Amino acid sequence: MIWRGLLVSVRDAAEAEAALAGGAAIIDVKDPSAGSLGAASASAVAGVAAAVGDRVPWTVAAGELRDEIAHPGAIHRLLAAIAADAGRAACAAPAAVKVGLAGLGGSAWQRPFHDVMDGLPATTARVAVAYADWQRVGAPHPLDIVAEARASSGVLLARASSGVLLDRASSGVLLIDTADKSGPDLLEACPWSDLEAWVAEARSIGLTVTLAGRLRLEQIRHLGRLRPDVVALRSAVCLNHRLGTVDATLVRRAVAAVSLLEKPSDGTA
What does pLDDT average to in each consecutive run of 10 residues of the chain (269 residues)? 88 98 97 93 90 92 90 82 68 82 92 80 79 96 82 41 39 85 95 96 88 96 93 96 96 97 50
Q: Give SS3 for 29.
A: strand
Cα–Cα dist 97/99, whole Å:
7
Distances (CA, A) of 203 to 18, 59, 264: 32, 22, 18
Residue 34 is given by DSSP the state G
Q: Give SS3 for 185.
A: coil
Cα–Cα dist 209/203, whole Å:
8
What pTM did the predictor assign?
0.87
Select from 106, 176, 178 the least CA-distant residue to 136.
Answer: 178
Q: What pLDDT was estimated at residue 151? A: 55
Cα–Cα dist 44/54, whole Å:
17
CA 62 to chain CA centroid, Å, is: 10
| DSSP track, 13-28 | HHHHHHHHHHT-SEEE
Exposed (0-12), middle (13-18) or buried (19+): which is 14, by Cβ within 10 Å?
middle
Exposed (0-12), middle (13-18) or buried (19+): which is 4, by Cβ within 10 Å?
middle
Q: What pLDDT was estimated at residue 207? A: 85
Instruction: List the domains of the chain with CATH numbers.
Output: 5-260 (3.20.20.70)
Q: What pLDDT was estimated at residue 190? A: 96
CB neighbourhood size of 123 (10 A)? 11
Distances (CA, A) of 184 to 33, 71, 199: 17, 30, 19
Output the CA angle 174-9-96, nearest 5 degrees.
45
Q: What pLDDT was estimated at residue 183? A: 94
